[in-house]
Amino acid sequence: MKLSGHDLSGADLSNANMNNASLEGANLSSVNMTGANLRGADLTAATAAKVIFVKADLTSAKLPQALAGANLAGANLAGRDLSGANLQHADLRNADLRGTNLTSASLTGCNLSGVMLQGTSLHGADLSDAD
């Protein structure tokens, strides 16, 4: 599925099968991707402000660096390289971040309750006002 550069803002893509989809540079602002299969999808350079990835399968997906305000509650982000990512005010409740590289990431104001952090690198990460 090739949706690179498309404006999908506000779309409801909950439970969509977007396995290996190309979403490079797409506008995903406020898109609902609850429960979506995004295995291997390429979301690099996508605009993802306030996107909803609740319980989405992001295994091997290439994620954008800017995920401010995103809802990633219950998302599987284990083993990902999110170094330097902007996750300000993101909802990461119950997300799987085991082994994730969050070096120098901005987690200001994030909801981190129930997050699995075993083996996660948080060197230089900004956790100001995070719960």
Q: Which two tokens stand for residue 1?
A: 């599925």
Q: What is the pLDDT of residue 53?
A: 92
pLDDT value at residue 64: 86
Sign of CA dihedral 110, 50, 39, 12: positive
Residue-by-residue pLDDT tens, the chain, 131 positions: 899 999 999 999 999 999 999 999 999 999 999 999 999 999 999 988 889 999 999 888 998 888 989 999 999 899 989 999 999 999 999 999 999 999 999 999 999 999 999 999 999 999 999 98
- Quick check: 4 and 23 in contact, CB under 8 A? yes
| DSSP class of 65 | S
